[in-house]
Chain A
Amino acid sequence: MARRKDPVSEMRRGVLELALLLHLDTGAACGADVMSDLDRNTDGRLQVSEGALYPALHRMEKKGLLSHEWIRDVQGRKPRKYYSLTDEGRTRLAELLAAWHDLRGAVDALEGGRGDA
């Protein structure tokens, strides 16, 4: 029997790539920074677990959307992996943002129509 997926989780997963691209467009960040920043900047509305974050980051890197650099930000501590957007990532971000605005416009129009009816 096919497992039924929670539609809200599916939507969140779909938005994750866009959220990561948007966040990394502001500058390079490691996974820990991405998790805390997404949580803080969205007032806790987009909390990402490590189980969602790392596979997404690695998949995006494999697709060429992200590149990485190991940076030791504190002397004596281990270097951390900082991700940044590639040119391909920026192009993908523009595509996803356009699609997002279209979808949001469509949903807003439907919601508005429902209110008018």
Chain B
Amino acid sequence: MEINEFLVKVKEVFEDTDVQLITPKSIFRDLDEWDSLTALSLIAMTDQEYSVKLTGDDINISNTLQDIFEIIKAKS
């Protein structure tokens, strides 16, 4: 499982965000587009693409997109 593939999918979730701002080190919570709907979209995308159930807690304890990716890898 490769992080760049994951980031392509994340760019689709953050459809109004400049693609340059979507990197492994991005603090997703600080992005303008981050809100509860984006969070739910991230959860839905992860379920659909990786069959992994990301929870609100998983998102709460993460800071960067790399953190989220690691959790998805661990749950796969």
A, B in one complex: no
Q: Which residues of B contact A (CB under 8 A)?
A: none
Interface of A toward B, CB cutoff 8 Å: none
